[in-house]
Structure 1
Amino acid sequence: MDHAGVLRLFDRRMRRDAPPDHAGVRVEDRGDVVRWTGGPHDWNGVVWSDLDAANADAAIAEQVRHYGALGVGFEWKTYSHDTPADLGERLLCAGFTAGEPESLMVAEVAAPTAPAGGGERPDGPRLVDVTDAVGIDLAVGVHEAAFGTGGGRSRDQLLERLAHAPDSFVVTLAMAGDRPVGSARIEFTPGTDFAGLWGGGIVTGFRGRGLHRDMVAHRARLAADRGARFLVVDAMPTSAPILRRLGFERLGTTTPYLREP
């Protein structure tokens, strides 16, 4: 893979020029910063910036004022190749809190592999695609059980997308009988060449059985059906080794910086 070329394409398609994920969010191009602005339940934040040491602090202050006037918290999603090199330190000085760094990993859609027979083992959980509110509730419940965190905000955002852009994502559940034991989703951004893998979680007792791999391969087939060229993942340390074995390559690191209203 041409890492530099794919990274340039990713920056242009998925950051600078990417459309909002639903009609309630607007993209605002400020020249050296592109931000998304929506309501209190939407994802608000900076998706791209091209700054230097001379203008970074002023640009950060402008975003703080903008979202502060709206009374919403927001995220500045940084990448390891963003400039200036000390952007993260400047954000911390401006009152942001750093989240956990994750690996930006990309694979060509044809790369992820799965067991023969389509990625589901006869003796394992079956994979079911859902695109309704019931399925979203089940997926959020799996996420809460798997990670021990609340999923209310994620539920609200996915329901909003379901209402305004139902074709922009698919939720996949792993079902053991009638019990959901795994969940993940794929997000599509038309015209970008990329499909994003998000929200993968498996409850205790079903980990270590290849289910994560099966869900990745399943979503890769969904991406191929939509004509996507690349799969992109923000991978936690626990997922990165699995993804690497499936053909994903690490292009850098992404770190969220959060600021409360």
Structure 2
Amino acid sequence: MVDTAGLLAAYDAQMRMPPGAIPAGVTHEHDGPLLRIVGGHVGRIRAPRDVGVTGAELDRLIARQRDYFRARGQGVEWKVRAHDLPTDLPERLVAAGFVPQPPATVLIGSAAEVAAAEPVLPGGVTLRRVTEAADLRRIGDQQAEVWGIDSSWVGNDLISRMSADPGQITVLVAAASDRIVCSAWMVYHPGTEFAALLGGTTLPDWRGRGIYRAMLAARAREAVARGFPLLHVDGSPDSAPILRRCGFQEITTSRHYQWSVDVPALVPGPAAVPDL
């Protein structure tokens, strides 16, 4: 039997606040129990499971984050899990003008188990690691092709992470000739048991051919080699069923609540770049 309660406890203890090197141009600021991540394409708010304040005090805490980023002329997203406290946090975020985005499934898998799979890539498709800025920018272009919106920030974010500490990220692409058909990366969380799976975006006409599974296995093998036993992913509705078949366990759900300066919600797309 899988100890899902134990996995959730490990997730809450280790994965709430981002450890490790901070990407270039990004700063971390604390406001009470919250961590504000400033300097990315949008602001981000991270919090412990229990924010620790309720009622009017919680409303003031929420308003401070919104107004802080309003003064910067920038949007902000607040990530909430289904088991977070207080239970009325989502309703209070909405009352403050934040717009809920579609939920994702939070899953955890054994790196060793996922690494044992031997998926077969389609003919003519090769998988390789990339580190150069030009390749990382091409990933942003590939994400834009899938999502239909400007995703240049993805390439910039990968470049910043690589510059901050290349040892804390692995970026992979699957290519057919010179075309990137799938891109995915993994961020290692030093001092924890976890490596986080991100990206995992496959062009629609290349889905269902085993490429996503190959990306999972390749990243899992790298996690095992680096001593990270657990894989974490916020899975989209498309990827979650595949992840479950690969042995991942659902522990909760997550949802981003987004506030923007000039529109009711930020443009839909890979806000947190989940695996897809």
Q: Shared fold by TM > 0.5?
A: yes
Which residue pairs with 2:265 in the alignment?
none
> Counterpart in 1 of 2:132?
132
Residue 134 of structure 1, CA deviation: 1.9
Look up the match of 1:165. 165
Specify the alignment match of 1:92 in structure 2: 94
Give 1:70's aligned residue: 72
**Pairing 1:252–2:240 present:** no
Taking a change above 3 Å as real, the CA distance of residues 122 and 33 of structure 1, as seen in their structure-2 partners, is closer
TM-score normalised by structure 2 residue count: 0.85
Q: CA deviation at 1:20?
A: 5.7
Please, which runs of 5 or more residues in structure 2 have no aligned partner? 262-276
Which position in structure 2 is the counterpart of 1:224?
224
Aligned residues: 257
Residue 18 of structure 1 is matched in structure 2 by: 19
Shift in alpha-carbon separation, 1:26–1:65, aligned structure 2, 3 A: same
Q: Compute the RMSD of aligned alpha carbons.
A: 2.1
Q: 1:114 to 1:17 in 2, by over 3 A?
A: closer
- Give me the TM-score of the superposition, normalised by structure 1: 0.89
Change beyond 3 A, Cα 1:198–1:2: same
Is residue 54 of structure 2 the alignment partner of residue 53 of structure 1? yes
Alignment check: 8 A CA contact 2:137 2:156 kept: no
Answer whether contact 2:111 2:230 (CA < 8 A) is retained: yes
Q: Which amino acid aligns with 1:143?
A: Q
Partner residue in 1 for 2:81 = 79
Shift of 1:70: 3.1
CA–CA separation in structure 2 for the residues paired with 1:20 and 1:6: 25
Give 2:147's aligned residue: 147
Partner of 2:274: none
- 1:3 equivalent in structure 2: 4
Partner residue, 1:103 = 105
Say which is worse superposed, 10-19 or 223-232, in terms of deviation: 10-19
Letter in 2 for 1:137: R
Letter in 2 for 1:79: R
Q: CA deviation at 1:43?
A: 4.8
The 2-side partners of 1:222 and 1:112 are apart by 11
Per-residue CA deviations over 1:89-113 (Å, capped at 9, x if unaligned) read 1111101111111000111111215
Mark the runs of 5 or more structure 1 residues left unpaired by the alignment: none
